[in-house]
Amino acid sequence: MRVAVLRFPGTWSENDFAHALSLVGAEPEILWHADADLRGYDAAIVPGGFTYGDYLRAGAIAAISPAAAELRRAAAEGMPILGSCNGFQILCEIGLLPGALVRNRHLEFRCDWVHLRIERERTPFSAGLRGEIVRMPIAHGEGCWVADELTLARVEANGQVVFRYTDARGAATPGSNPNGSTANIAGVANEAGNVVGLMPHPERCSEELLGGTDGRRVLEALTASRHIVMAPASVQ
């Protein structure tokens, strides 16, 4: 499985993702954003970092990169695309995912481990994992997912919430929400289910040496689901 990992100015998780993908049998290749051509690849990753120094707001300048048009084209054709942390912010800025990421409610940068409940089955990054409670690290200052009431209602009704912050038992409590994200939402999908974004870093928990392997399970879902035909967005 050939996976393109995009590199922007200020990206720093591309090598970590490439390593994690190699652990699950994928063939990663790091592509410079300005030259990105996703034809011939099976999936794409938009990794974390501080693209363009997060000037204006996180992901805003990267969203006008030449890679933005290529990501839109690939997403429309059904390519699996995952954005983590800054990558999630970029995908929201591009318009491939609903909502937006803003400053954490407490205005603090948070670097910690969090628990997540996987709520949607039919995505390339959560196939076979619905209902699982996983543990992943976060590192962000603008990870608070927000949306207007109509968008939030549509996202919930369509089953577009893929990851939700919870405690270790799977309860979505205020205390388990590290950034004040609306409805404890940590990650969402587009309606078709092929584009997914999340604030935690699955690439940082792909080996026991790193403190956990739950992120590896997300990437294993990608390699295992490459032949699955995605269901309509309203079907879990």
The domain spans of the chain are: 2-224
pLDDT above 50 (res 209): yes
pLDDT at 236: 32
pLDDT above 90 (res 44): yes
pLDDT above 90 (res 70): yes
pLDDT above 70 (res 229): no
pLDDT above 90 (res 60): yes
**Can you tell me the distance from the alpha carbon of 213 to that of 208, in angstroms, rounded to the nearest whole number?**
6
pLDDT at 9: 97
Q: Which of 36-50, 63-77, 217-231 has the lowest mean pLDDT?
A: 217-231
List the catalytic residues.
85, 201, 203
Q: Which CATH architecture has domain 2-224?
A: 3-Layer(aba) Sandwich (3.40)
pLDDT above 50 (res 179): yes
pLDDT at 226: 58
pLDDT above 90 (res 134): yes
The per-residue pLDDT for range 186-196, each reduced to its tens digit, is: 999 999 999 99
pLDDT above 60 (res 228): no
What's 170's DSSP letter? S
At a CB cut-off of 8 Å and minimum separation 6, what does 59 contact? 51, 86, 89, 90, 91, 92, 93, 101
Q: Pairing state of beta strands 27-32 and 110-118?
A: unpaired
What integer is the mean pLDDT of 38-49? 97
Task: Count, in order, helices (H) and strands (E) of the chain.
Answer: 5, 11
What's 46's DSSP letter? E
* Averaged pLDDT score across all residues of the chain: 94
**Can you tell me the distance from the alpha carbon of 68 to that of 61, in angstroms, rounded to the nearest whole number?**
10
Closest CA to 43 of 17, 64, 23, 11: 17
**Can you tell me the distance from the alpha carbon of 222 to that of 224, in angstroms, rounded to the nearest whole number?**
5
pTM: 0.94
